[in-house]
Chains A and B, each alone.
Chain A
Amino acid sequence: MSNIGSYKERLKNFDWSLAESELEYMDGDVINIGWYCSDRICQKGDGEKTALYYEGFGGVEKKFTFNDIRLASNSIGIFLNNLGLKNEDRICLFMDRIPDLYFSFLGILKIGAIVQPLFSAFGDESLFVRLENAQTRAVITQRKQLYKVRKILNKLPFLEFIIVVDHIKTKELEEKEISFSFEEAHQVEEMSIFPTRAESPSVLHYTSGTTGQPKGVKHVHYSLISQYLTTKWVLDLQENDIYWCTADPGWVTGTSYGIIGPWSLGITQCVLDSGFSAQSWYKFIEKYKVTIWYSSPTAIRSLMKAGDDLVAGYNLSSLRHLASVGEPLNSEAVIWSERIFGKPFHDTFWQTETGSIMITNLPGMKIKPGSMGVPFPGITGVVLDQSTFELLRGEGKTGHIAFRPGWPAMMRTYWNNDEKYREKFVNGWYLSGDKASVDKDGYFWFVGRDDDVINTGGHLVSPFEVESALLEHPAVAESAVVANPDEVNMEVVKAFITLKPGFTPSSDMKLEIMNFIRKKLSSLAMPQEIEYMDKLPRTRSGKIMRRLLHAKEWGEEIGDISTLEDD
């Protein structure tokens, strides 16, 4: 029996207070995610239950109980407090998926500060714009990332502390750098948890848009309510499950469902911190007897590519429920997983801004391969007319996916950018930026985005950010960046460039530019293909017609080109 039981029954008289009551939270109470994910589980008698199985590169294995994570998060919390860091300060996590990241996440929340998780593969420029925007006071990081922080330190006057979790005495610490070791830290049995309330800020994730710099999506501690319930009902986590969320906590899935959801339910989870290979993933599932697996379409398609024969070499019979997130899950992948694992991947749809799952295929319900599923109970999800923003009635009509605001995990604003936040709402609806149609049974079917943001491997990349970085290369005169179709990653970054006088197009130049972007922004943002142009298509007013380049890549109709510059 699944946790949700009957979807139809759950829709009747649904109220988020159900989750509040299960979490023993009452309106106006203190609510602190750090406490809920560690101390509360211990108080309920599960302190000795395994919270985390960790496996790193080279077979390093570690295991931590809920009591271990309670103590470790207390230790870092007190350490941060002693540095003078306090509630609502932004503290960035910039490291691989090591246990220290998970402990620090909870510790930061326990002192009432705001966690700013950033993907550890970001280059120094990507790191800089996000730290500058948030006016981050401290970064918790690893030795291997220090060179990036050092490069930008003098441009970040608000950054006071760089906390290194794996410092070795043979290396010199530089300005503002401090060592903190979880292994050597004094274990703090009791700490005074900061009394955050429902609307106290908790997590600040950055997301990319078509224009402008990345936006900081501000979440609050009350997000726990929908993260808890969606984890319970969509992912169906039950007491003895072993859960594996493959997402990195640098992105929202890795925190909402890679930390908060499972640990607020007191569930054991596994983390594999190494590069992707089909063999290592299957081996990991077999070894830890993973029962619930939450992954991404890119990973699933990579597993498909690795071949069916490979699966036969592993015992994956522990798997009980599979789900996917990040980009639309194609029907072939659903059918493949049903054939190979005996169960389908359940697609889920949500965003950094929504904080928790919005549209989903639920355990026990009929799966229509390729469909996003139905709105989660308590979520009013609709499609709106693309020009009038009125409700679209009738099946199969494409419109904007929109939600009625008010679910607990919804973002509260974009950091320092209320104006952009307000632009996300029309006629009382939150606009997701994605388009879909709805069939006669109420299932949503993804159509595409309504902007130029590139979804590569489930991660959003801003064409503007890449174009701006390209212009910083000494040889590049003009740049335009679009999505290119890709069978594994759905989309990859493609750049069109013109060169400055004196520079000659060559394959070596392309490589140089690719590496330039990879180091400056990230490997995700690195153009997988670069095309030289004599000139870029522009409107008569001088604006680059990205739409034209996109249509060329996707084999689409070019549409109206009446505003195209003549020569």
Chain B
Amino acid sequence: MEKMNLEERKDFILNYIVKEYMEDADKEITYDTPLISSGYIDSFSMVSLLVFLENKFKIRIPPMKATPEAFDSVNNIVTLVNQYIK
């Protein structure tokens, strides 16, 4: 996972979100689509997304950093993840 480049990382996360949280085929999201503030992902579901990121990228994100703002788009998530990937 660590060897993905930035674009691959974005696509990887975006595809996971579409698969896991958006079963409705009508929805289309981009890297900038608001996820939490739009209601696509609620604060309870955010926890499972956090576990996914930690598992897949072998990182530990401090609870203080796992805010709704940090999870509000694929771009924001990638920025967050990048801080912890060595």
Contact = CB atoms under 8 A, between A and B. Distances in A.
A58 B24 contact: no
A274 B37 contact: yes
Interface in A9-62: 57-58
Contacts of A519: 23
Contacts of B5: none
Contact of A276 (B20, B36, B45): B36
A452 B72 CA distance: 34
Nearest to A527: B47
A528 B44 contact: yes
A280 B72 CA distance: 13
A144 B68 contact: no
A275 B36 contact: yes
16 contacts: A58-B38, A121-B42, A143-B24, A274-B37, A274-B38, A275-B35, A275-B40, A275-B42, A277-B69, A457-B44, A511-B48, A515-B20, A515-B48, A519-B23, A524-B44, A526-B48
Contacts of B39: 57, 96, 273-275
B51 interface: yes
Nearest to B45: A523
A141 to B, nearest CB: 12
Contacts of B72: 277
B42 A526 contact: no
Interface residues of A, number: 30
Nearest to B41: A275
B55 A507 contact: yes
Contacts of A492: 44
A514 interface: yes
Interface string B43-81: 111011001101100000000000011001000000000
A507 B23 CA distance: 23
A518 B48 contact: yes
A175 interface: no
B27 interface: yes
A174 interface: no
B38 A518 contact: no
Contacts of A412: none
A320 interface: no
Q: 6 shortest A-B CB distances, which residue pairs?
A: A275-B39, A523-B44, A144-B24, A523-B45, A277-B37, A514-B48
A523 B44 CA distance: 6
Contacts of B38: 57-58, 274-275
Nearest to B51: A511
B26 interface: yes
Given A57-B39, A274-B37, 7 more contacts: A275-B39, A275-B42, A276-B43, A515-B20, A523-B42, A526-B48, A528-B47
Contact of B26 (A57, A144, A302, A511): A144
Contact of A511 (B36, B37, B40, B55): B55
Interface-centre pick from A121, A143, A274, A523 (highest chain B CB count, 10 A): A523
Given A144-B26, A507-B51, A514-B51, A280 B37 contact: yes
A456 B47 CA distance: 14
B68 A277 contact: yes
A438 B45 CA distance: 38
B59 to A, nearest CB: 12
Contact of A277 (B36, B44, B45): B36
